[in-house]
Amino acid sequence: MPESNETQPAAPKPTDEAVDHTTARSRRDIGPTKIQLNFTSMIDVIFLLLIYFVITASFVQDEGVLTANLPKGTGQPTTKVPPKPKRPIKIVLASTGLHGARLSIDSIGGYATFTELSDQLIQMQYDPSRGLTGPYKPDHPVVIKPDGNVRWQHVVNAFNSAVRARYSTVAFAQAE
Amino acid sequence: MASRIFKRGPTTPEMNMTSLIDVTFLLIIFFMLVNNIITEENVEMIVPELEDSKARELGEVHRLVINVAPQPFDPKTARDNPLMRDGTAAKVQLGMDEYPMADLASMTADLASAAEASPKDGKGRPSLEVVLRADSALYYNEVQAVMSAITAANIAKVNLVAFTPEKTKRDAKRFN
């Protein structure tokens, strides 16, 4: 009987203290009660999440895309201009050794790196706004013709060189 | 008087954490599943690394990834000499479905039906972006076969995957 605490301080408590649900503070002396929030479970879960994401995170180099037109598309073409019967600039990749390739443009060859190839393509371009006075306009078709056993890396590198030189119509050669 | 209102005394409010933990576990399971699906879609391979890469990230579009996977390789030793690996393709994976190299016709059929089922843009053309992700050591023949199969499904444009430009400049690499 909780009310007996105040009025009869000397009387023995008949009730079991384990089930006495009032706290030690009585109603009149202490001010507002404090809210207790047990944070243990929340911290456990947060550490679980943290450890999971730390373990599954991996730092990889980003992969991007280059847009290409396929050789013979019955799908929708990206350019509105009808196909011109112009002789395209042919970038030929011949395979050397197990994994190398030899680059040439229209059989004028021997470029050592793709940057050199790209610079040569830029030289051949006609674009007054960039100060270029070559014979080919930027929309002149460019065809990339690799050997069958040239590694894919060189093929995409050649494509990237043409894109870097700002040619807009670059395609892969038809299969032989 | 306060003693009349609170007959039982002030109680310590307790917060029921069960719902919070339910939601947290739901989030954990969601991120675990999404992580697994994304890693399944990207078959393990080394994509081409370009000189002065013009590869850009593909935005949030409706895309379908076609993986041309190489023969199994050890990533640690492959990093030193990425092109000295087997150049034959092991399989083609369209989204999450795998096809052997001998059966590209069924890949064409599934790709065509996926293009048909995709949402159309304003002019009635399928707005599906096909992303071709091929390993850098593959022979051009292998990837050419896959590109022909994509063309046969009435798709004109394809995105080639390569690494985006690195933040630090590198010298132009000679590849012989």
**pLDDT over 80 (residue A147):** yes
Per CB-CB distance under 8 Å, the chain B contacts of A69 are 156-157
- Per the structure, the count of domains in chain B is 1
Q: Report CB contact under 8 Å: A115, B172.
A: yes
Per CB-CB distance under 8 Å, the chain B contacts of A41 are 17, 21
A81-139 confidence digits (pLDDT tens): 555 567 888 888 888 877 777 777 777 777 888 888 888 888 888 888 888 888 888 88
Pairing relation of β-strands A126-127 and B157-163?
Answer: unpaired
Q: Work out the burial of residue A142: count CB atoms within 10 Å of its CB; fewer than 13 is exposed, 13-18 middle, 19 or more buried.
A: buried
Q: Quick one: pLDDT at residue B9? A: 64
A43-87 confidence digits (pLDDT tens): 888 888 888 888 887 777 778 888 887 765 444 445 555 555 678
B73-131 confidence digits (pLDDT tens): 888 887 777 788 888 888 888 888 888 888 888 999 998 888 888 877 777 777 788 99
Name the CA radius of gyration of chain B, rounded.
Answer: 26
**pLDDT over 50 (residue B171):** no
Task: Indicate the SS3 state at residue A6.
Answer: helix
**Among A10-24, A118-132, A149-163, B139-153, where is mean pLDDT lowest?**
A10-24
Q: Give, in order, the Cα–Cα distances in Å from A155 to each of A161, B7, B12.
A: 10, 85, 72
- Identify the CATH number of the domain defined by range A89-172: 3.30.420.270
Pairwise CA distance, residues B168 & B165, whole Å: 9
CA atoms within 13 A on the CB side of A134: 19
Q: Quick one: pLDDT at residue A55? A: 85
Task: State which residues form the domain around B131.
Answer: 16-176
Q: Work out the burial of residue A14: count CB atoms within 10 Å of its CB; fewer than 13 is exposed, 13-18 middle, 19 or more buried.
A: exposed
How far does the CA of residue B10 sit from the closest CA of chain A (Å)? Answer: 7
**pLDDT over 50 (residue A27):** yes
Do the Cβ atoms of B64 and B95 come closer than 8 Å?
Answer: yes
Give the residue from chain A lying closest to B36, CA to CA: A56
Per CB-CB distance under 8 Å, the chain A contacts of B49 are 153
Q: Quick one: pLDDT at residue B55? A: 86
